[in-house]
Amino acid sequence: MKEPTLYVVATPIGNLADMVPRAVEVLQGVDVIAAEDTRHSSRLLSHFAIETSLVAYHDHTDLRQVMALVQRLQSGESIALISDAGTPLVSDPGYRLVREARQANIRVVPVPGACAMIAALSASGLPSDRFSFEGFLPPKTGQRCNRLQPLINDERTLIFYEAPHRIEASLADMASVFGDDREAVIAREITKTFETIKGGNLSELQAFVAADPNQRKGEMVVMVRGAEKAEQQLDASVERMMNILMKELSLKQSSNLVAEITGVKKKVLYQWGLDNKE
Ligand code: SAM
């Protein structure tokens, strides 16, 4: 008997041709598919002639439903978890099921595929070496600004999911918190007919969305460039000390000595040394 497995299966975010062959194979082979919305998913399944039965799964349904699925896995069945679109658990249900299954020592296997934030980032032209996925922002301005505030100095690219009826208000709050000049990109309707990927600063994007009602329709990802790296400012006397010592000693030794003499943090001095080495 094959080991019972919970498969976490990504599905397309708008273009059925993005369904990966392994996803079809897994969905055909499992005993049951746990889906966020069984009616929505039955259209996907019928397109690929998948006849496996469906059960509804939401993270907010009570734990008994989660445990019922875990028990099915423990009794030897395999289950595939899907959401309405994209990768389950990414702003979608699945966390509680995966968590409980893993705690019960059930094998959990990802079947990767579409994910809106990764697709958006890959085409944004924004730095992608470090990024922070922030999910959906709160619906009200006050709470939204409170969520954005701690991100002001974050140097990573910030990625948000946003609903079309809130895009204007969200861009306005982002501009007021991060500044009008902060670079951003909106990726809308990815993989669909009206796919639009528009970059600019936050005030330009506000004007773009305000001028065209079509830009307030469909599904969208908003990405904001991270904060510029803060330049370390040192006193002229501290810089002079560093310059003299760095001629004779290693950067580490110079930073340690100057830190001891001046009280400036070693890390700051070391970074300054790296930035200003001749
Ligand atoms: N699990 C999904 C994923 O892997 O991306 C995300 C589900 S979340 C409930 C839905 C949000 O994802 C939308 O409001 C939008 O922000 C984003 N999204 C989903 N499909 C998209 C698409 N085709 N184009 C742009 N954004 C999309």
Rounded distance, CA 258 to CA 239, Å?
9
**Identity of the residue numbered 118:** I
Separation of CA 65 and ligand 1 centre (Å): 26
- Determine contact, residues 41/54, Cβ cutoff 8 Å: yes
Rounded distance, CA 196 to CA 220, Å?
9
Task: State the Rg of the chain over Cα.
Answer: 25
Q: What is the pLDDT of residue 260?
A: 96
- In angstroms, how far is CA 262 from the centroid of its own chain? 42
Place of tokens 């595939």: 80
Distances (CA, A) of 141 to 136, 168, 170, 248: 13, 11, 8, 56
**3 state SS of 232:** coil
Q: What is the pLDDT of residue 60?
A: 80
Is it the case that residue 1 has pLDDT exceeding 60?
no
- The protein residue whose alpha carbon is closest to atom 19 in ligand 1 is 116
Q: What is the pLDDT of residue 234?
A: 87
What whole-number percentage of the chain has pLDDT above 70?
98
Is it the case that residue 278 has pLDDT exceeding 90?
no
Ligand 1: lining residues by beta carbon, under 6 Å: 13-14, 83, 85-87, 90-92, 115-117, 161-163, 187-192, 219-221
Determine the average pLDDT of the residues in 167-189.
98
Q: Residue 87 CA: which ligand 1 atom is closest?
A: 4
In tens, the pLDDT along 52-110 reads 999 999 888 778 889 999 999 999 999 999 999 999 999 999 999 999 999 999 999 99
- Determine contact, residues 91/66, Cβ cutoff 8 Å: no
Question: At a CB cut-off of 8 Å and minimum separation 6, what does 154 contact?
Answer: 132, 226, 227
Q: What is the pLDDT of residue 277?
A: 77
Is it the case that residue 140 has pLDDT exceeding 70?
yes
pTM listed for this prediction: 0.86
Q: What is the pLDDT of residue 145?
A: 98
Who has greater pLDDT, 224 or 268? 224
Q: What is the pLDDT of residue 171?
A: 98
Q: What is the pLDDT of residue 275?
A: 85
Is it the case that residue 119 has pLDDT exceeding 80?
yes
Who has greater pLDDT, 232 or 139? 139
Q: What is the pLDDT of residue 38?
A: 95
- Determine contact, residues 216/165, Cβ cutoff 8 Å: yes
Separation of CA 272 and ligand 1 centre (Å): 42
